[in-house]
Structure 1
Amino acid sequence: MKKIFLISFLVLSTFSSIAQVSIDNVTKEELLEKQNRAFPTSGAVIVDEKNKVYFDINLRDGNFISGEEVTRKIKLYKEQDLSKLSFTIPYFVRGAYAEDVAIDEVYVYSLVNNEITKTKITSFESKKEGDYREKGVDFTKIPNIPEGSIITYRYKKLSENLDVLPEWFIQGDLPKQRSIYTMRIPTYFTYQMIQTGSQKIASNESIIDVKYGNGLLDSNTIKTLEKTLVALNVSAFSEEVLVDNAANYINKVRFDLSSVQFPGSKQQQVLGTKQTFFENLQKNKRYWKEILNDRYYRKQISQLDLSAKSDLEKADLILNYLQKEVTWNGMYGIYPENGLKSTYLRGQGNTADINLMLISMLRYVGLDANPALVSTRSNGKKKEWQGMYYNNLIAVLQSEGSYYFLDASSKNASIGVIPIDNLNGVVTMFSDKEGTKDLISTPAFVSSRKENYQLEFKPNGSLTGTAIHAYDNYEAFFVKEKFSFMGRFKYIKELEFVNPGLSVHNFVLNDNRTVDKNIARISFGVNKPNGSFSFNNKFFVNLFQFYDGKSNPFVTDNRLYPIDFAFPNSYTYSVSLLIPKGYKVDVLPDDLEIKDADSGVSAQVKYTRKNNRIEVIVGLLKSKAVIEPEYYENVKQVYNSFYNKLQEQITIEVELE
C-alpha cells in the first residue's frame, strides 16, 4: 500500500520554487460594489481564479509527484447564491495513486460600520468512504455572510498520478472574470492538451530552469516548461434538461501524459493511439486465456437445455443463468479485476469480469461472441484519443448478420437491452483473431410505455378504479431497475406522492422477458377522493391527472445542446371514465394531432364518447433518441401544444329530466 510522503513545506506551505500569490487584497470599493460590470445580473461572480499545477520530488522514493494549488476570490452580490460558493475536493488516500489535500486561507470579508472585517473560516466539511475522501467548505452553514461579502480561499492537492494532470474547468456554476491555469512540467514529460468548448484562451509558454526537491536533493536544475493559459469573462455553465452528460459541453481543458523521456534513455510512448491500444489488447495472451478457460463452469452450462434452440434462445438461457450466479460490484472496467474463475466462485466482480465470462460461456456453446469497449454516458463522449477513452466492457453476439448487445452486470438486462449508461453512441468490438469494428449502441427500435385507467366517477367527486401499466424493452428495463432499487413499499409511495390524494392498493408487478423483448406489467387499484373539484353544482375532472410528466420540460427560449432521450420511445396514456346515472358531460374538448418530421416528435389527444363512458387516448412519440438543438423550436411547439391540452378538463353536471 503506497502512501505519499508529505512534508510540511510541500503541503502546508507551498511547492518548491513557486511563490505564493496573495489573495488577501480586498478593498472597500469591491465590497461596496452592487453589481458586476461584466455580469450585472449574476448573484455571485468569481473575480479571480488561479490554478497552478507543478511537479516536485517525493523525498521518500525520489519519484516525481504532481501538485495542484487553487485560489479563488468570489464576490457575493445576492444572498440566495451563497450555496454556489461552496466547494468540495475529492481524493483517494490509497491505491495505485495516493493523494492528499490541505485547505487553508479561507476568509470572509465584509463591511461593518464602514470598516473591513476579516473572518477566518476553520469549519470544514469532510467525508470518508473506504479509500475515498472529500474535504470542502459549505458556506451555507457559516453564519453572518451578508450580501456584498467577498470570500477568498486556497487549497492544495498532491497526487502520485502523473498520467492525467488536474483538468482546468474554465466554466462552472458561477461566471468568472478571470481564470488562469499555470503549469510547470519538467521537459521529460510531454502532455496532450484537449479543449472542450469554444471559450477563447490566451496562451504563452517558456522553458525555465527549476531545481526540484526544494534544494534538499543534490541534483542539477531541470529544464521545465512553464505554460500559462488565461480565460477572461467566462459565463456560467447553463444547465439544460435531457442532456446526456453536461461534461460533454462544459468549457474545460484536459491534459493526458503522451510520452516520457529521461536523460540518456529512449522516449517511451504512454498514450499511444487507438490502433496501437487495440493491437496490444489483441496480443494480450493473458486476456484471451481468461476467456478460453471454461473448466470451472462446464458442468453447470452442460446442464442447461440448449438442444434445438436458436442462437438467441441459447444466449438468453446463458445470460439468465449468469445473471443469477454473479452480482456486479458496482465498478466499471475493461480489464478483469478478480479473474473470471475467481469472480464465478465468489459470485461478484466488475463489468469486465462478468461480461468476459459471459463471452466465454457463449463461445463454449458455439456462439460467435466478442467483447466491445464503451465510454459510458457518465464517462462522457471523447472527441480525441485520450486516457480513459473507454471505461466499460460489454458483450456482442453476432447471429445471422445481426449484432446484439448483452450485459450480464444488470439483473434486468436482456438481449439487445443493456444498462442505459452504455447508450453513448459508438462502441468498439474487437476479437483475438480479427480487427475492430465500431457499432452504434443507440437503439433503432422504439420502446413503449402504455398506461390504461378504468375509472368511475362518484357523485361525491371521487375517482375509483384500476390501472394497468405495460412496458417493453428499455421502458421495461427502466421500471425494473427502479423497482429493484426502491423496493415495493417506496415504489408505491412514490406513485401516491406524485398524485396527491391517491391511494394505491392491490399492487402487482409482473416481471418477464422473451428472447426478443424485455417486458414489465404493473396493475393496481385506484382510489382518489379529490379526483375532481366542484363549483356551482358542477364537477370538473382532469382526465390527465395520472399522466407521468406533470410539466413541460421545454420552456426556455433557446437550446444550446442536443436533446437526449437515450432511446426512441412512445408513451400511450388512456382513460375510460364511467359517468353515473343522472349525470352528463355535454361538451368534450377538441382533439389534437401534431407531428414534426424533422425532430421525429409527434403528439395526439383523442376523445370519444361511448354510452355513459368518456374515453381519451393520449400518445407522445419520440422516434429519435437524440435531437439536435437546431430543431429545438420544432420540439418546443409540439410540447407546448401537447401540454396545453393536458390542462383541459371535462365538466360533469346533474342531468335534468
Structure 2
Amino acid sequence: MPNVKEGSVIEFSYRVQSVFFFNLRDWTFQQTIPVLWSEYTTIIPEYFHYKKLAQGYERFLVSEEKPMNVNLGAGISSSSGTEYHWVLKDVPAIRREPYMTSINNYVSKIEFELGSFTVPGQVYETYNNSWGKVCSNLMTSERFGTQLSRTGFVKETIAPLISNAKEPEKQMAAIYEYVKDNITYNNREHLYAENNLRKVLDTKAGSSAEINLLLIAMLKEAGLEANPVILSTRENGYVGSTSFPNISKFDYVIGHVKIGEKEYLLDATEPLALPNILPVKCLNGQGLLVNTQEARWVSLVPGAKASHTYQSFLTIGSDNSLKGKIETTSDGYTALRYRK
C-alpha cells in the first residue's frame, strides 16, 4: 500500500451475504486500543423482530431508531422497516485484569437474536421468547434433545456396568467412569452434537457436546433422572440477564442427575474429574437445566473448594533442631490439579 507511514489511518469496507438471519452480526464498539469513533447502523424489515442487548459501561453518543421503507431487492416489493443507529465516541481501551473471567463480560457491544418472524398471509412464528421456549426448541432439535429420546443403542453397553450396582449413586458413578475412560475428547467445544450418539459410542471419540449428551443418554437408559444443563464457558462470557432469553449466549453442555434430594453435575470430558467437580472453564455463574417439564437455573458454584492442608509432627532436639514429618492433603480443585 503506497504512502503508508506510522500514524496513517486505513479505511476499508466489506460486504457479508448470509442466509442465516437468526443472528444479526454483533457489533463491538470497544477494543483493546482506544477507539475514536465506532458506529453501527442496521435496517430491519417489518417481518423480523430482533431482541437487542446492549452491554458495557460507555454511554452512547447516538442511540436512535426511525421508521423507513426497505427495498427487499429486484422484483420484490418494498416494505416498512426500522433503521437503528448507535454511535460511541472516544472509547477508552479495555484491558484484561487479574481475576477477570472474560473480557467479553465488560466490553461495550450490542447483540441481536431473532425473537419473531412473520410474512403476510402466513403463520406468525416466535423464537426463544421464554426460557421454556428455549428448552422446547433444544429438546426437539435433532442435534440435541431428540438424540436423548433414542437411547436403546446403549442398552448392551450399560448392562454389565450396573448389573452389580443396585444403588442409583453407584449406577451413576459406574456409567460416568465408563464414559470418561472410554470416550476420547477431541478438544472441540460445542453446544450441539455434530454426529449421532451411536457413532460417538462406536468410534469412542467426540466433542464436548457429544460426550456429555452420550453420558446423559446412558444415564437415562439406566433409569436415572438425567438431563442436560447448558452454560456459557468463562471465555465466552456471562449468560447475562435471565430475563432476556437468548440461546446464543450458551456454548457448552454438561450432565445433571437428581437422586432423591441430591443433585450432581457431570462433565465426562475430564478423565480425572469427579461428580460436582467441573472443569474450571465451566465455573461461570449458573446454567440452564433443560428438560420437557421446566426451565430451571442451577448454580455452577462448586461445592468443593480448592484446599491444601499441611499437618506437621515435629520434635525439638537438644541442639534446637527440628525432626519429624509433614503431611499434606489436597481436596477439591487442588486435588484435581495434582491428579493431572
For normalisation by structure 1, the TM-score amounts to 0.45
Structure 2 counterpart of 1:23:
none
- CA-based RMSD of the aligned residues comes to 3.1
- Specify the SS of the correspondent of 2:33: coil
CA 1:222 to 1:282, structure 2 compared with 1: closer, same or farther past 3 Å?
Answer: closer
1:181 aligned partner: 40
Matched, 1:344 2:201: yes
Match of 2:51 in 1: 192
Deviation at 1:289, TM superposition (A): 5.8
Identity %: 25
Residue number in structure 1 paired with 2:181:
324
The 3-state SS of whatever aligns with 1:318 is: helix
* Structure 2 contact 132–295 (Cα < 8 Å) conserved: no
**Superimposed CA distance per residue, residues 571-614 of structure 1 (whole angstroms, 9 cap, x where no aligned partner):** xxxxxxxxxxxxxxxxxxxxxxxxxxxxxxxxxxxxxxxxxxxx
Find out whether 1:423 has 2:280 as its counterpart. no
Match of 1:248 in 2: 105
In structure 2, what residue type is equivalent to 1:184?
I
What is the Cα deviation at residue 172 of structure 1? 1.1
Whole-angstrom distance in 1 between the partners of 2:147 and 2:138: 13
Q: CA deviation at 1:185?
A: 2.8
Match of residue 543 from structure 1: none
- The 8 Å contact of residues 370 and 395 in structure 1, kept in 2 or not, is answered as yes
**2:160 is equivalent to residue 300 of structure 1:** no
Correspondence for 1:385: 245
Q: What does the per-residue CA deviation read over 1:200-258, in whole Å, with 9 as the maximum and x for residues that have no partner?
A: 11223333345455xxx334444343222122222221321111111111111112222
Aligned residue pairs total 323
Aligned ranges for residues 447-526 of structure 1 at < 5 Å? 447-449=306-308, 471-480=330-339, 483=340
Secondary structure of the structure 1 residue equivalent to 2:147: helix
Superimposed CA distance per residue, residues 399-445 of structure 1 (whole angstroms, 9 cap, x where no aligned partner): 2411111111222222111222221111222334x323321111133
Q: In 2, Cα distance between the equivalents of 1:261 and 1:197?
A: 32
User: In structure 1, how many angstroms separate the alpha carbons of the residues matched to 2:155 and 2:91?
Assistant: 60
Q: Which amino acid aligns with 2:130?
A: T
- For structure 2, the residue ranges without an aligned partner over 5 or more in a row are 313-325
Instruction: Determine helix, strand or coil for the equivalent of 2:14.
Output: strand
Structure 2 residue aligned with 1:367, among 220, 224, 235? 224
Match of 2:265 among 372, 397, 405: 405
In the superposition, relative to structure 1, how do residues 331 and 367 fare at CA in structure 2: closer, same or farther (>3 Å)? same
Residue 189 of structure 1, CA deviation? 2.3
Number of the residue aligned with 1:204 = 64
Q: Is the contact between residue 164 and residue 387 of structure 1 (CA under 8 Å) also seen in structure 2?
A: no
Larger Rg: 1
CA distance in 2, matches of 1:264, 1:254: 30
Matched, 1:166 2:25: yes
The residue that corresponds to 1:152 in the other structure is: 10
Q: Which residue in 2 is equivalent to 1:441?
A: 300
Query: Which deviations, in whole Å up to 9, do the C-alpha atoms of 1:248-274 show, x marking residues without a partner?
Result: 111111122222233443433234221
TM-score (norm 2): 0.82
CA distance in 1, matches of 2:288, 2:64: 38
Q: Are the aligned partners of 1:375 and 1:392 in contact in 2 as well (CA < 8 Å)?
A: yes
Residue 261 of structure 1, aligned match among 118, 132, 136: 118
Task: Answer 1 or 2: higher relative contact order, Cα 8 Å, separation at least 6.
Answer: 2
AA aligned opposite 1:206: K
Structure 1 unaligned residues grouped into runs of 5+ = 1-105, 108-117, 120-144, 454-466, 484-657
Q: For 1:430 and 1:205, how far apart are their aligned partners in 2?
A: 36
- Give the 3 Å change call, closer, same or farther, for CA 231–284 of structure 1 in structure 2: closer
Which residue of the other structure, out of 109, 127, 132, is the alignment partner of 1:275?
A: 132
Q: Between 386-395 and 238-247, report the one with greater CA deviation.
A: 386-395
1:236 maps onto 2:93 in alignment: yes
Question: Separation in 2 of the partners of 1:246 and 1:345?
Answer: 39
Letter in 1 for 2:237: G
- C-alpha contact (below 8 Å) 2:134/2:247 kept by paired residues: no
- Return the alpha-carbon distance in structure 1 between the equivalents of residues 311 and 142 of structure 2: 55
CA change 1:437–1:386 in 2 (3 A) is: closer
Q: Which structure features the higher share of strand residues? A: 1
Cα offset for 1:287? 5.9
